[in-house]
Structure 1
Amino acid sequence: MDQTFGSEWEKLRFPLYSAQRIRSVYCTANTPVQKWKEASPSLLAVRDGSGTLQAGGNAYDLGAGEALLLPAEEAAELRGGPGGPLHAYLLVIGTGMAGAAAVDGPGGLRPSSLDAVRQPRRISGDAGLASQLEELFVHRLPRTEIRHVQNQLLFHQLLLRLLPHGQAKQAPDAELPSMERSVAYLEERFAEEVTRERLAEIAGVSASHYTRLFKLHTGFTPSDYWSRLRINRAKELLLGGADSLRDIAHKVGYKDEFYLSRRFKLQEGRSPSEFRSRKVERVAAWLAPYAVHLRLLGVEPELLIADSSEFLKPEAEVPAAGASRLIAADEPPETIRAALLDSRIELIVGASPHLERYGQSASRLRVAAPLADIPWMEIGWKDQLSLIARAVQRTERADAWLEAFDREERAARELVQARGLAGQTVSILVAKPGRLLAYGARNAGYVFYRSLGMLPPPPVREEMERRIDQFHSMEVGLSELGRCDGDRLLLISVPDKHGSIGHVEELLQSDAWRGLRAVQRQAVYRAEEDDWIPYNPVSIQLQLRRAVQLLLGEPFRA
């Protein structure tokens, strides 16, 4: 595994920030007003004097030592005060990922938290920002490499001060926490008759004041938000295919299918039946495994909402049509909603338990896009592929791929049987820090037990018979290791957070390990988790080929 810093950091797809430019801004008696609009986020810090900045529909009084973080594409107007000249510095911050094209794999980029800023934010309690910007300005054309590095350090020290303000939840009004409660109420009860007065009561404001606050908080009027919730829920039910249009209308709160059709066409520009038959193009994948399913179907996710540790490796079997935008799954709901809306996502493909793991839910994201809720642990990868294909209207492509895989699977099984290996027992152990797991019907277990017809050890077989595809793994203590013995053993090592596999070495030195039949027969295969743990069609296909090569000592490709 490549452990170089550049490769690992690039794979995480965090933005590489740059100081695009820095300039000195003066407001004097002769030029009392300075105007600008930058394409990237910027930081304004006042060195001397005082004045007022107009931006985002608001006015901000500024004095010496005070600073504002300004959003990208924000028209700003700085006006000096009566007490003398105002002198400030403006730093424009690049948030793109330089050299992304050189990184292996699809170039999905995480959005910068600074790009998530929608309104100017006052940077309080940090009077030193102006002096730091002054130093950057004075040395903006460094004469030596050392000064260049000093500028880089100074710039990143500034970033460390700014990023928490970008990540902080916007709350321009003290009433917004109660606004959250009223929005959540509407999201949960969108199919009921909800009045503006009731929502305002929950928020603790007047009905007339509520509409302005609601739009400030969500970007929509209450009625538009309510309509989007209903129509997007209708889309989810349409994709399910089991309900009639009349039933769907009643479930989302409309009196009949005719009224639903009118509202649907008003919002979407097409009828429900046209939506049902049209291929979905702009899709967001919640976590990497479902992104692989989509790519296999020829759908490049516009947005990948992923765990920090996830990275999609480009397999030859899954050509990437373009670069997915990447956003962390643990971002606040409003940040993810904004990303979905900005990317004009038509459908989110994910599983409800995955959303809940990160404090999200279909109801919280539904205003941005409907969710195709694809079960994760309840079904196997083949059924997952078929359900996703149906949701994005790519069933023929999925069927063709599965038929080709079935042929490859049969060829592999026949080859293993011809060598007399099918009746042998294979134990799959995963050594994690502090835990030893015996794997069942998923991941590598699918390949050895389902595809190749080899036998699991007795405790694993019992659980597989009881729980079928839902049995992922079971924890095994050293004293129980003998029960999970086999003719052959695949040991998958998972390093700890420091990259150490010391816990694996301790296992290998134990008497319980040395007493295993597979160890004594030298029939142990050591492997890394990246090659055997992923659970998606492409990974299973690659694991099948690796498994045959391990068992037979020769490459396999049907």
Structure 2
Amino acid sequence: MKHIDGGAAPFLEGILPQIQSFKTIAAESERILEGDTMSSHTLLLITKAKGELIIEDKPFLLSGKSAWLLLPGMRVEVAASPGRTIKLYRLSFDLYRESSHSAERKIFELERSFPVHGLLGADLSVLQRLILRFESAYTAGGHFLQQHVLMELLAEVLNSERSPELPAAIGQPIELTIRFMQESYQTDIKLEKLAELAGMHPSYYSQLFKQRMNKSPIEFLTQLRMNKAKELLLVSGPSVREVASQVGYQDEFYFSRRFKENSGVAPTHYLKRKVPNVISLSFPYTDHLFALGVTPCAAQIHPLLPPVAKSLKLPFHAYETWEIGRQAFLSVKPDLVLCKANVLHKAQEHIGDVAPIIAVPWKELDLFGHMKAIAELLGREKAARDWISQYEAKADQARGIVQAAIGSASVTVLRIMPGAQRIYAARNIGHVFYRALQLPAPAALQSELDRHEPGTGLTWLPASLDELGNYESDYLLLAAASEEDAKTFMVAAVGHEAWLKHPAVRANRVRQIDWANWMIYAPNAILHQLGEAVQMLAGKRYDPLI
């Protein structure tokens, strides 16, 4: 009895849910619902059953797990078979749709329909995980969180009906409970609830979990909570009571004891510890660690960087699959993991129980902001100040050499890619030219730079060959990832009017730079780039690393 009325994807737009009731029901050999007429939308998630469900006098056999969406006005009966038990979750809610609004008010009307009703085809393991999240929020009295999880539930119901194929890993019992703990660690989680979610007896579930993760479910949950607590202490510095509450402990003294057992120090002394073993999941941040005098115990590295004890083979892009296993992280016993925000979720999924994970903002901060943020986490503020001071002195020296050779000549930095080009701003490739050497940018680029704090927000602007004329300058620097990309671009450019009219082309001041050496926006990398820029523009050897 599954009905899809169409238009599922946009159905939730403009919807405001109002929760009416939530119950967990377990009964043996009796009727649970006796011809009840639903006054609201109702989601039934049946997790254990041998019996019968009757909707509008039409019977359905219950055996195992199932999920049902009932509309207002539907008459429903649920009964267990003799000697059998039925366990279900019943979530009743109303939906209100915005019908009109003005500057002063919004008007909502009761929505009695739903694109899907009857027996649902959604992934039951995913629905059960979300129901347990809802139960935790309902017990804690978190109204807004309840509404948020309910909307997730409804979206899951609608999306799965349209696209039933889900990644197989989501439905696997152990991974499902891990994800639930990662999402709901701040709530009261018992072993029995995790085993129920996995569909196993608690002792068997614990056995399988330990085989998979090399620790029990409760040990995993405790370690996850402790790492979340450390992240809060490192980043925001709240009180111990606030930290305890935010990671699932109502008794701050019990939390403090567990924290000290786990970390060797009390929460109040955690920030005063010595520089820890650090893992870096980003080679720019690995570069920062070296600049601060900290050698990471494992890291993603670049050929320009010194070797470390363990090089982590991580994907360059955040959306790519991690092929590295947990043992690579566990073996080095990290105290802290640094990463960019775009890999934070993936890192938390893989190693959230291994160590606290701090995402240092990338685009929101410039290179100096990255260094200061990392230094503050590690208690290396003086090392950061010293490095920045030394860098500024080297940049002043390089600026003097370049300006003596080319004066105030302007520069455009053009990144060449298959089928596209980018004009770089005052970070990444552009940092050395526009900030260190303080060379003028093209007027069109400068007008965009003026809208941002130096080195933040704007990384590049898209530019076609037709638009190249908007970025006139004395020098044009081309950065291509491969010779093939450079040749393809030049074939298209040599006969193009905008290319032929560009001042740098007419003056024979087009230079190529190696993308592999200029793509890194990090301390030691920009020192290499600074020396290369002086050689290229002034024709003089300058080594800022000496």
TM-score normalized with structure 2 length? 0.63
Q: Is the 1:176–1:217 Cα contact (8 Å) retained in structure 2?
A: no
Q: Distance in 1 between matches of 2:375 and 2:323?
A: 29
Q: 2:174 aligns with which of 179, 204, 226?
A: 179
Give the equivalent residue in structure 2 for 1:58: none
Q: Distance in 1 between matches of 2:504 and 2:249?
A: 64
Q: CA deviation at 1:384?
A: 0.6
The aligned amino acid for 1:477 is S
Q: 2:342 aligns with which of 353, 367, 386?
A: 353
Q: Is the 1:281–1:299 Cα contact (8 Å) retained in structure 2?
A: no
**Which secondary structure state, in structure 2, belongs to the residue aligned with residue 470 of structure 1?**
coil
Q: CA deviation at 1:457?
A: 1.4
Distance 1:466 1:362, change over 3 A: farther
Distance 1:205 1:335, change over 3 A: farther
Q: Is the 1:347–1:369 Cα contact (8 Å) retained in structure 2?
A: yes
- Answering whether residue 288 of structure 2 is matched by residue 293 of structure 1, we say yes
Q: 1:426 aligns with which of 395, 411, 417?
A: 411
Q: 1:472 aligns with which of 456, 459, 463?
A: 459
The aligned amino acid for 2:278 is V
**Which secondary structure state, in structure 1, belongs to the residue aligned with residue 237 of structure 2?**
coil
Q: 1:223 aligns with which of 215, 218, 221?
A: 218
The aligned amino acid for 2:502 is L
Give the equivalent residue in structure 2 for 1:407: 393
Q: CA deviation at 1:294?
A: 1.1
The aligned amino acid for 1:281 is P
Give the equivalent residue in structure 1 for 2:351: 365
Q: CA deviation at 1:473?
A: 0.9
Q: 2:329 aligns with which of 337, 340, 353?
A: 340
Name the count of aligned residue pairs. 371
- Answering whether residue 243 of structure 2 is matched by residue 248 of structure 1, we say yes
Give the equivalent residue in structure 2 for 1:516: 502
Q: Distance in 1 between matches of 2:361 and 2:325?
A: 21
**Which secondary structure state, in structure 2, belongs to the residue aligned with residue 492 of structure 1?**
strand
- Answering whether residue 535 of structure 2 is matched by residue 535 of structure 1, we say no
Q: Distance in 1 between matches of 2:368 and 2:251?
A: 37
Question: Mean Cα displacement is larger for which, 478-487 or 269-278?
Answer: 269-278
Q: 1:313 aligns with which of 299, 304, 307?
A: 304
Q: Deviations over 1:212-231 (max 9, x none)?
A: 12212221111111110111
Q: Deviations over 1:184-208 (max 9, x none)?
A: 0011111110122221121111223
Distance 1:528 1:365, change over 3 A: same
Map of 1:3-402 to 2, 5 A cutoff? 177-304=172-299, 306=300, 311-314=302-305, 322-329=308-315, 335-356=324-345, 360-402=346-388
Q: Is the 1:441–1:470 Cα contact (8 Å) retained in structure 2?
A: no
Q: Distance in 1 between matches of 2:529 and 2:392?
A: 14
Q: Distance in 2 between matches of 1:509 and 1:333?
A: 42
- Answering whether residue 498 of structure 2 is matched by residue 503 of structure 1, we say no
Q: Distance in 2 between matches of 1:420 and 1:211?
A: 70
Q: Distance in 1 between matches of 2:337 and 2:223?
A: 15
Q: Distance in 2 between matches of 1:258 and 1:414?
A: 60
Q: Distance in 2 between matches of 1:231 and 1:339?
A: 21
Q: CA deviation at 1:327?
A: 2.9
Where relative contact order (Cα < 8 A, 6+ residues apart) is larger, the structure is 1
Q: Unaligned regions of 5+ residues in structure 2, if any?
A: 1-167
RMSD of the alignment, in Å? Answer: 2.6
The aligned amino acid for 2:430 is G
Distance 1:490 1:237, change over 3 A: same
Q: CA deviation at 1:331?
A: 8.6
Give the equivalent residue in structure 2 for 1:481: 468
**Which secondary structure state, in structure 1, belongs to the residue aligned with residue 450 of structure 2?**
helix
**Which secondary structure state, in structure 2, belongs to the residue aligned with residue 262 of structure 1?**
helix
Q: Is the 2:182–2:224 Cα contact (8 Å) retained in structure 1?
A: yes
**Which secondary structure state, in structure 1, belongs to the residue aligned with residue 398 of structure 2?**
helix
**Which secondary structure state, in structure 2, belongs to the residue aligned with residue 438 of structure 1?**
strand
Q: CA deviation at 1:323?
A: 3.0
Q: CA deviation at 1:544?
A: 2.0
Distance 1:380 1:177, change over 3 A: same
Q: Is the 1:494–1:528 Cα contact (8 Å) retained in structure 2?
A: yes
Q: CA deviation at 1:538?
A: 0.9
Distance 1:475 1:334, change over 3 A: closer
The aligned amino acid for 2:377 is A
Give the equivalent residue in structure 2 for 1:446: 431
Give the equivalent residue in structure 1 for 2:118: none
Q: Distance in 2 between matches of 1:253 and 1:449?
A: 48
The aligned amino acid for 1:502 is K
Q: CA deviation at 1:349?
A: 0.9
The aligned amino acid for 1:311 is H
**Which secondary structure state, in structure 2, belongs to the residue aligned with residue 506 of structure 1?**
helix
Q: Deviations over 1:483-514 (max 9, x none)?
A: 11211111112217xx6643133144232322
Q: Distance in 2 between matches of 1:510 and 1:346?
A: 57
Q: Is the 1:440–1:473 Cα contact (8 Å) retained in structure 2?
A: yes
Q: Distance in 2 between matches of 1:332 and 1:186?
A: 22
Q: Percent identity?
A: 32
**Which secondary structure state, in structure 2, belongs to the residue aligned with residue 326 of structure 1?**
coil
Question: Mean Cα displacement is larger for which, 401-410 or 326-335?
Answer: 326-335
Q: Distance in 2 between matches of 1:353 and 1:180?
A: 22
The aligned amino acid for 1:349 is L
Q: CA deviation at 1:375?
A: 0.9
Q: Is the 1:351–1:375 Cα contact (8 Å) retained in structure 2?
A: yes
Give the equivalent residue in structure 2 for 1:103: none
TM-score normalized with structure 1 length? 0.62
Distance 1:280 1:483, change over 3 A: same
Q: Distance in 2 between matches of 1:521 and 1:406?
A: 32
The aligned amino acid for 1:531 is N
Q: Distance in 1 between matches of 2:450 and 2:272?
A: 39
Q: Deviations over 1:295-353 (max 9, x none)?
A: 2222222222x4xxx63324xxxx65x43233334896695433211221111111121
Give the equivalent residue in structure 2 for 1:102: none
Q: Distance in 2 between matches of 1:502 and 1:550?
A: 21
Q: Distance in 2 between matches of 1:363 and 1:481?
A: 43
Q: Distance in 2 between matches of 1:447 and 1:215?
A: 51
